[in-house]
Amino acid sequence: MQKEVPKYTPDSKRNFTRNRKLLFEKLRRTILSMSSQGLHVELQWQFHYDPTAATASAFVQQRGKLFPSVFEEILHRFTFQNRPKRQWDEYTLLAA
């Protein structure tokens, strides 16, 4: 998905081009792996309690550079790759 970053951000010439602590892949993985903890705790866990980890403010700023369609695309790719052979009333059931 890294090569497709320009279609998931409003300013593809500037967003996710510089080397930062929360690059596109790390940001995407962090958002997908979040649980019910506070943002600061989630970031500390994601960065293995590194004192130089990204701050909550940096996370919010980077998250603001993403279109929600990136997560729709992840869902579509996941369901396409994990298509069950059987359906229930023409519905595909997934459980997590």
User: Stretch 64-70: mean pLDDT, rounded?
Assistant: 88
Torsion sign over Cα 45, 46, 52, 57 = negative
**Extents of the domains making up the chain:** 2-81
Question: Rounded distance, CA 87 to CA 9, Å?
Answer: 35
Between the alpha carbon of residue 45 and those of residues 23, 50, 70, the distances in Å are 17, 9, 23
Q: If pLDDT is split at 50, 70 and 90, which confidence band does 96 have?
A: low
User: Stretch 17-36: mean pLDDT, rounded?
Assistant: 86
Mean pLDDT of all residues in the chain?
84
User: Stretch 71-79: mean pLDDT, rounded?
Assistant: 84
